[in-house]
């Protein structure tokens, strides 16, 4: 079981993602904007992965900014980006290294598959086994 931070400014989509991820057996933390997400990332709370919308209201870089700060605060934190808009190769250059992407709208199966891929390296980490 992992703790996944979900950052989504649309309450309906955030609730839906929370439910789906909890149904997969994971714990969640959630934030509706950059400030809430950074507050959680700076806290001592356990966070094993980040699932963030790329475009957040009232944020210039939104999910890009959150992911960039997240990997500075928590080294090797797995990141899964999502958005409902089409992204091009130029936009992908803004992804943090090793990040994954899930296009909205996504199905429960697509989210499950993406989360499994995202968390796979953690299953091999001795630090995770000790927790």
Domains of the chain: 3-130 (3.40.50.2300)
Please report which confidence band the pLDDT of residue 129 belongs to, taking 50, 70 and 90 as the band edges: very low
| pLDDT score for 57 | 83
**Is 127's pLDDT higher than 70?**
no
The pTM assigned to this predicted structure is 0.90
Please report which confidence band the pLDDT of residue 128 belongs to, taking 50, 70 and 90 as the band edges: very low
**Is 131's pLDDT higher than 50?**
no
Range with lowest mean pLDDT among 7-11, 82-86, 123-127: 123-127
Instruction: Give the 3-state secondary structure of the chain.
Output: CCEEEEECCCHHHHHHHHHHHHHCCCEEEEECCHHHHHHHHHCCCCCCEEEEECCCCCCCCHHHHHHHHHHHHCCCCCEEEEECCCCCHHHHCCCCCCCEEEECCCCHHHHHHHHHHHHHHHHCCHHHHHC
pLDDT in tens, 93-122: 999 999 999 999 999 999 999 999 999 988
Please report which confidence band the pLDDT of residue 74 belongs to, taking 50, 70 and 90 as the band edges: very high
- What is the mean predicted confidence (pLDDT) over 5-29? 97
pLDDT in tens, 36-67: 999 999 999 999 999 999 999 877 778 999 99
């Amino acid at each position: 079981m992992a703790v996944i931070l979900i950052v989504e400014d649309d309450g309906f989509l955030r609730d839906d993602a929370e439910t789906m991820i909890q149904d997969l057996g994971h714990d969640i933390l959630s934030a509706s904007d950059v400030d809430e997400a950074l507050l959680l990332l700076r806290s001592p709370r356990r966070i094993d992965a980040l699932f963030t919308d790329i475009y957040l209201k009232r944020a210039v870089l939104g999910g890009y900014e959150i992911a960039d700060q997240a990997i500075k605060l928590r080294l090797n934190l797995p990141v899964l980006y999502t958005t409902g808009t089409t992204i091009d190769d130029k936009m992908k250059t803004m992804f943090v290294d090793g990040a994954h992407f899930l296009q909205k709208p996504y199905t429960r199966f697509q989210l499950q598959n993406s989360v499994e891929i995202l968390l796979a390296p953690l299953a091999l980490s001795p630090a995770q086994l000790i927790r």
